[in-house]
């Protein structure tokens, strides 16, 4: 992508910032303690501020701009749809809605052929759980620690990270278990095979003690995202599939972050050859150009609601602008081989490049991931694997990660940082040159993290 000419306009930036500070109430923040960057524009893998600073977005927004910013074909499709039919109620059949559902169903695995549209990921999770409960007549849902499923009531209770704590309604039918993560094994395992076997046994035991007939669903991120990009060991997801089949439990895979190209396949489940009963998606489905999410539903669960009404709905379900953006995004991804590019960048640029950084920087404990979905697990000490900052650290305790993040921004890279990790999650159509630029910025900033190792 050619560099952008950026006309600095600090005065305009100051006005944007002032109105933001006066009136915008931001997510997940102590409102008085934040200092949001005023963004002047974005294109491809870059965005820029009003002072003329340009950033390589290695966070893809919140891991969703899989085709980068302002893709001209998707912008044009939204404009055309706005001119033709901006909105229409969900009870009607609308051409772009039908086409978006067809294109998604064509790509989802197995017989996940019906699509319920939502406005985002959390609503997709809410409705997938609702379907599972009604389909089975059971209430409990099992979810993993080290997971994120969204911020609405059910989705946040399913979440296995500290964002849940403030809204935890004492489980609300949710039981959490440990999914595999060899680097920080909850099972004291030393090999992938051991981790897999022990994690499956732990899940079996959890189900036995909860009572299999009380469990409606097991929900897992195919590859947990915000929690640390932990690729499950070979056999784990197939094992969960088998357990679900044995006990009549609905298997939900949450592909809100991992889906639509991020792992180098359309869906991460393809790496593991598993077909869930329900799959949630959002983010990459249209790169968030217009809010959209949904649930892909298999034939058996869809049949539950053939004669019996599904008791759920949203005013904007299948919004034409969002669906037009999805149709255009999926076409762009197919025509421009965006998914193949994500796989190539992972195998040939980011994977080798990040592993090379790990050799030189003692703060890198582990590099893990695939496609354009990578995590650097930063540690104080490689032998002990003690995280560079404590779990859920804030303020002074988080200073090493804050300094590392500031160094990245100074080097023109906008990072995705969570606890003691930085994730390298650029757009799926990131170029080799852009990926290498990101590696260089990481290289420089890791020296800051190295200074905190012992
Ligand atoms: C795996 C996963 N599920 C669900 C969600 C929630 O999606 P949303 O923020 O669109 O509600 C997210 C968001 O990051 C996610 O990563």
Which pLDDT does position 1 carry in this prediction? 47
Q: How far is CA 363 from CA 349, 377, 387, 396, in A?
A: 21, 8, 9, 19
Tell me the pTM. 0.97
Q: Are 228 and 219 in contact (CB under 8 A)?
A: no
Identify which of 47, 68, 31 has the alpha carbon closest to the alpha carbon of residue 409.
47
Give domain 10-67+337-450's CATH architecture: Alpha-Beta Complex (3.90)
Query: Is the CB–ligand 1 distance for residue 254 below 6 Å?
Result: yes
What CA–CA distance (Å, rounded) separates 443 from 150?
32
Query: Is the CB–ligand 1 distance for residue 255 below 6 Å?
Result: no
Which pLDDT does position 4 carry in this prediction? 62
Beta carbons within 8 Å of 283's beta carbon, 6+ residues apart: 62, 63, 64, 66, 121, 256, 257, 259, 260, 293
* Centroid of ligand 1 to alpha carbon of 419 (angstroms): 18
Mean pLDDT on 134-158: 97
**Percent of the chain at pLDDT exceeding 90:** 98
* Centroid of ligand 1 to alpha carbon of 125 (angstroms): 9
**Structural class in CATH, domain 72-335:** alpha beta
Which pLDDT does position 171 carry in this prediction? 78
Identify which of 185, 175, 126 has the alpha carbon closest to the alpha carbon of residue 155.
126
* Residue 119 Cα: closest atom of ligand 1: 10
Taking CA atoms only, the protein residue closest to ligand 1 atom 13 is 150
* Residue 282 Cα: closest atom of ligand 1: 10
Helix (H, G, I), strand (E, B) or coil at 58: coil
pLDDT at 28 > cutoff 70: yes
Which pLDDT does position 229 carry in this prediction? 98
CA–centroid distance for 347 within its chain: 20
Mean pLDDT on 35-56: 98
Confidence of residue 3 (pLDDT cuts 50, 70, 90): low
* Residue 258 Cα: closest atom of ligand 1: 1
Tokens representing 13 are 């930036």
* Centroid of ligand 1 to alpha carbon of 226 (angstroms): 9
Q: Are 145 and 181 in contact (CB under 8 A)?
A: no
Spans of all domains in the chain: 10-67+337-450, 72-335
Identify which of 131, 140, 90, 136 has the alpha carbon closest to the alpha carbon of residue 311.
131
Query: Is the CB–ligand 1 distance for residue 221 below 6 Å?
Result: yes
Question: Which of 120, 126, 150, 295 maximizes ligand 1 atoms within 8 Å of its Cβ, making it the mutation to test the pocket?
Answer: 150
Output the average pLDDT for the chain: 97
Query: Is the CB–ligand 1 distance for residue 121 below 6 Å?
Result: yes
* Centroid of ligand 1 to alpha carbon of 258 (angstroms): 10
Mean pLDDT on 206-229: 98
pLDDT at 432 > cutoff 90: yes
Question: Which of 63, 65, 149, 220 maximizes ligand 1 atoms within 8 Å of its Cβ, making it the mutation to test the pocket?
Answer: 149
Question: Which of 122, 155, 279 maximizes ligand 1 atoms within 8 Å of its Cβ, making it the mutation to test the pocket?
Answer: 122
Query: Is the CB–ligand 1 distance for residue 122 below 6 Å?
Result: yes
């Amino acid at each position: 992508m050619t560099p952008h000419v950026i006309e600095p306009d600090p005065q305009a930036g100051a006005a944007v910032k002032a109105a933001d500070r006066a009136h915008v109430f931001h997510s997940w923040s102590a409102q008085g303690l934040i200092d949001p960057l005023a963004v002047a524009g974005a294109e491809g893998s870059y965005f820029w501020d009003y002072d003329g600073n340009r950033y390589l977005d290695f966070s893809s927004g919140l891991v969703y701009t899989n085709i980068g910013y302002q893709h001209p074909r998707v912008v044009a499709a939204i404009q055309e749809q706005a001119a033709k039919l901006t909105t229409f109620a969900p009870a009607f059949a609308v051409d772009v809605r039908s086409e978006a559902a067809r294109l998604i169903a064509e790509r989802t695995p197995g017989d996940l052929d019906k699509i319920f549209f939502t406005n985002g990921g959390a609503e997709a999770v809410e409705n997938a759980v609702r379907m599972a409960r009604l389909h089975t007549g059971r209430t409990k849902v099992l979810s993993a620690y080290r997971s994120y499923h969204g911020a609405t009531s059910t989705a946040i209770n399913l979440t296995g990270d500290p964002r849940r704590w403030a809204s935890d309604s004492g489980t609300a039918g949710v039981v959490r278990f440990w999914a595999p993560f060899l680097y920080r094994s909850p099972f004291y395992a030393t090999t992938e095979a051991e981790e897999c076997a022990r994690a499956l046994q732990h899940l079996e035991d959890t189900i036995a003690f909860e009572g299999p007939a009380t469990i409606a669903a097991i929900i897992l991120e195919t590859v947990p995202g915000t929690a640390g990009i932990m690729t499950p060991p070979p056999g784990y997801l197939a094992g969960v599939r088998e357990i679900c089949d044995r006990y009549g439990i609905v298997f939900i895979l949450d592909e809100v972050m991992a889906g639509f190209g991020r792992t180098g396949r359309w869906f991460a489940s393809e790496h593991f050859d598993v077909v869930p009963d329900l799959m949630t998606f959002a983010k990459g489905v249209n790169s968030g150009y217009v809010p959209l999410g949904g649930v892909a539903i298999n034939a058996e669960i869809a049949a539950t609601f053939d004669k019996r009404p599904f008791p759920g709905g949203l005013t904007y379900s299948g919004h034409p602008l969002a669906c037009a953006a999805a149709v255009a995004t999926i076409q762009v991804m197919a025509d421009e081989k965006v998914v193949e590019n994500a796989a190539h960048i992972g195998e040939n640029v980011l994977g080798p490049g990040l592993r090379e950084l790990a050799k030189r920087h003692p703060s890198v404990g582990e590099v893990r991931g695939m496609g354009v979905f990578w995590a650097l697990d930063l540690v104080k000490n490689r032998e002990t694997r003690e995280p560079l900052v404590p779990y859920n650290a804030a303020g002074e305790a988080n200073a090493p990660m804050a300094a590392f993040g500031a160094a990245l921004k100074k080097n023109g890279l906008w990072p995705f940082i969570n606890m003691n990790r930085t994730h390298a999650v650029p757009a799926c159509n990131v170029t080799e040159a852009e990926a290498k630029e990101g590696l260089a910025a990481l290289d420089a900033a890791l020296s800051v993290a190295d200074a905190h190792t012992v």
